[in-house]
Amino acid sequence: MSRFFRQVLTFITLSTLLGFSPLYAQDHSHHDAGAHVSLEEEEFETGKLIMHHIGDSHEWEFSKGFSIPLPVILYSPDRGIEVFSSARFHNDHHEYNGYHLVHGDAEKIVPVDESRTVYDFSITKNVASMILGAIILILVFTSVAKAYKREKGKAPRGFQSAMEVLVLFIRDEVVKPNVGPNYARYLPYLLTLFFFILINNLLGLLPGGANVTGNIAITMVLAVLTFIITHVNSNRHYWKHLVAPDGLPPALLPVMIPVEIIGVFMKPFSLMIRLFANITAGHIILLSLFSLIFIFKSFLLAPVISAFALFMNFIEIMVAFIQAFIFTLLSSMYIGSAIEEHSHADHGH
């Protein structure tokens, strides 16, 4: 166990120090008309660097000067589907075939001819990371399933045992108590939700990792999926409670009905914002810590800041599990409240 702990500690330490190597590898010298601009003369833009690392892009950058180009997929009514590598934009003007790659808070591809309409379906860094996460989950659970078939009737061991603990915890401590007797129907979705968020949270902490669950569009889709499943499967008692809560005086109905309806939409909104804000905040804190070295222009701070960042990385690993757990827990509660029978409904008694 001690050997395993040392390996995990070493891995986290290297991930913390290497994961932000682009910060150390920034090009702080430029040649303009033969003049050399030193590190002291160049202004370090913390905000620009942070937005670059937490944002999406059309290439997967692991460190300064080392990146993997990704497929660009564009559709326009006049040209149809166009597919090419994002490496085509690696020129002085960031242009290729009538398209311009705009770098900013949100990287995007726009046509040089502004009158054209273009739809971007490219495989960006976030999409590639989600595909990688899906492949990892498929391999992991395929391996676990084969282990169960191969050692049927035997106690699980190794990685199989670790995965069983997580699955049983979500089933017995999260889904069953909150969804109710019909939990089995929703268990596949809720388990998928938990492991999807967890794997993407953890991948985001690795060197060069993408900020998938820190992208509000992705958390919005997850929240909308929970919203749809909740309301497609809701019963008449759930809808009745929205428009005519039991025991409520008729005079209060004009006030309470709008409140209840707003509450219906606030639930997925809170799911979306909570996951997005917590994951993004963690990345910003770590990047801000390393930026202090360049803001104060003193590498003497590096050991202290690296030690504190290592501690924060441990916290971020905890947050990765906690946020996956909370999102799954609240989704279970929302589904359970929509499908529970009237005799078991909680109306405040």
Are residues 247 and 18 in contact, defined by beta-carbon separation less than 8 angstroms?
A: no
**Nearest-10 crossing angle of helices 253-295, 302-339:** 160
Q: Is the pLDDT of residue 37 over 80?
A: no
Report phi then psi at 109, rounded to 5.
-105, 125
Placement of tokens 């591809």 in the chain: 109
Angstrom distance (rounded) from CA 40 to CA 29 = 10
Q: Find the helix packing angle between 159-169 and 187-203, rounded to 10°.
A: 120
Tens digit of pLDDT for each residue in 220-262? Answer: 999 999 999 999 998 888 888 777 776 777 777 777 888 888 8
Q: In angstroms, what CA-CA distances link 170 with 66, 137, 202, 307, 335? A: 39, 16, 18, 34, 15
Nearest residue to 107 via CA among 92, 117, 94: 94
User: Mind listing the pLDDT tens digit for each residue in 178-221?
Assistant: 998 999 999 999 999 999 999 999 998 887 888 899 999 999 99
What's the token pair of residue 221? Answer: 């889709």
Asked if pLDDT for residue 156 goes beyond 80, the answer is: no
Helix (H), strand (E) at residue 61? strand 59-63
Inter-CA distances, 310 with 68, 204, 205, 209, 315, Å:
27, 15, 11, 16, 9
Average pLDDT over residues 261-274: 92
Q: Among the listed ranges 89-103, 105-119, 223-237, 291-305, which one has the minimum average pLDDT value? A: 291-305
Residue found under tokens 């190794």: 158
- Asked if 86 and 69 count as a contact pair (C-beta separation under 8 A), the reply is yes
| Amino acid 36: pLDDT | 43
Better-scored residue on pLDDT, 41 or 241:
241
Lowest-confidence region among 91-105, 138-152, 163-177, 239-253: 239-253
Length of the chain: 349
Alpha-carbon distance of 133 to 201, in angstroms, equals: 10
- Average pLDDT for 32-61: 65
**Contact criterion met (CB below 8 Å) for 290 and 53:** no
pLDDT at 3: 53
Residue 346 clears pLDDT 60, i.e. is over it: no
Question: Percent of the chain having pLDDT more than 90?
Answer: 37
Judge contact between 108 and 58, C-beta under 8 A.
no
**pLDDT of 31 strictly over 70:** no
Mean pLDDT of the chain: 81
Segment 64-89, tens digit of pLDDT: 667 889 999 999 999 999 999 988 88
